[in-house]
Structure 1
Amino acid sequence: MTKILSLPKIILFSFISSVAIILVSAQNYDYARTLDRNLFGLKQEKLTHFRLYWHDILSGSHPTSVQVVAPPPSNSPTTFFGAISMMDDPMTEGPGLNSKLIGRAQGLYGFAAQGELGAIMVMNFVFMEGKYNGSTIAILGRNKVLSDVREMPVVGGSGLFRFARGYVQARTRVLDAKTGDATVEYNVYVLHY
């Protein structure tokens, strides 16, 4: 004997079936969600330009950059391929080391090119002065050391530079061939909120 379902039972069955299908086939993304940018106070982006001087000091009793990995002896002594240095370099407002200290460049650089003097730079510009005090700009990129101008990307930041992006241009102003000490002018162009 065939039993015929009433219309309310058919509707209820369809509803329960639909919910079951949705529950079984839905993908759960509890770890990520889209947020309203206004919740973070993100308004219009600003473009800020900094000109600062980075002092990489290898000599003396208190160097600001130290080699932590030496290049293998079989590599070319002119490229330093394989060498890695850790740095905590002063950044000043003017080109002289006695100029006003505005922050530190902290990170590392490794010589990553076999045929030329080229480094990978991984560093944070840590600001210690004015309204940017405590904020950082993260830079990661290739530095073809002997070029007149080198460009590296800004890949992020913290504090006033959250969600930052942009680029830096580096120009060597002083290089002591005997000690390896260098003063480099950095022009930083950073988009931030």
Structure 2
Amino acid sequence: MAIWNGRVLNLCILWLLVSIVLLNGIDCHSRKKKLPKPCRNLVLYFHDIIYNGKNAGNATSTLVAAPQGANLTIMTGNYHFGDLAVFDDPITVDNNLHSPPVGRAQGFYFYDMKNTFSAWLGFTFVLNSTDYKGTITFGGADPILAKYRDISVVGGTGDFLMARGIATIDTDAYEGDVYFRLRVNITLYECY
């Protein structure tokens, strides 16, 4: 029985050594995956007007949750940590808030860092115009102080059925705690 256990142990060690030698020759990181050519690119703007307790008539977003004891109508804390906002913002093809909208940006963002401005975004562009019909869904981290930030395009419907890609966003305009405009450069790599 001891001889049998010794042979099994020797075979296991031999198998392990052969596996290491064979796998060592395979370098998974030496070949970089080449991205396919983008199948679609578009640039849209969305305009967020934050409810501040006085602008209910034209506000397109509002805080719905905040840390214990915070005032929900006025953003609190240096970096708004813990604040959760929902929005239903107009989308335009140029940076003018008063341009005819091509759809709505609907979703939420929450501030997720205590020591700098950072948020996590989850939203959908609901598009209904002569040029675009359907939805594009986005999700990802938004380190707000960076000039350009990439978030994932995770799906879509209609003209954007099952779309996948990257959206590069930048804060195109900012007016205190009341208004900001995001420029969203959408590059799709999967289009159906």
Paired with 2:131 and 2:50, the residues of 1 have a C-alpha distance of 31
| AA aligned opposite 2:154 | V
| AA aligned opposite 2:179 | D
Paired with 1:136 and 1:46, the residues of 2 have a C-alpha distance of 18
Match of 2:65 in 1: 69
Alignment of 1:89-108 (within 5 A): 89-108=89-108
Deviation at 1:170, TM superposition (A): 0.8
Match of 1:149 in 2: 148
What is the aligned counterpart of 1:47 among 39, 43, 50? 39
Paired with 1:167 and 1:151, the residues of 2 have a C-alpha distance of 6
Q: Deviations over 1:57-77 (max 9, x none)?
A: 114223100110023459x81
Q: Deviations over 1:41-68 (max 9, x none)?
A: xxxx971111111100114223100110
Paired with 1:148 and 1:79, the residues of 2 have a C-alpha distance of 17
Alignment of 1:20-169 (within 5 A): 47-59=39-51, 60=55, 61-72=57-68, 77-133=77-133, 135-169=134-168
- 1:170 paired with 2:169, answer yes
In angstroms, what is the RMSD of aligned CA positions?
Answer: 1.9
Paired with 1:99 and 1:89, the residues of 2 have a C-alpha distance of 13
Consecutive aligned runs of 4 or more in structure 1 exceeding 6 Å deviation: none
| AA aligned opposite 1:130 | T
Paired with 1:85 and 1:166, the residues of 2 have a C-alpha distance of 25
Match of 2:179 in 1: 181
Question: Contact 2:38/2:187 (CA < 8 Å) preserved in 1?
Answer: no
Paired with 2:167 and 2:38, the residues of 1 have a C-alpha distance of 16
Between the aligned residues of both structures, percent identity stands at 31
With normalisation by structure 2, the TM-score equals: 0.71
Question: Contact 1:71/1:80 (CA < 8 Å) preserved in 2?
Answer: no
- Gaps of at least 5 residues in structure 2 are 1-36, 71-75
Count of matched residue positions in the alignment of Structure 1 and Structure 2:
146
What SS does the corresponding residue of 2:102 show, helix, strand or coil? strand
Deviation at 1:166, TM superposition (A): 0.2
Which is greater in Rg? 1
Deviation at 1:130, TM superposition (A): 1.7
- Gaps of at least 5 residues in structure 1 are 1-44
With normalisation by structure 1, the TM-score equals: 0.70
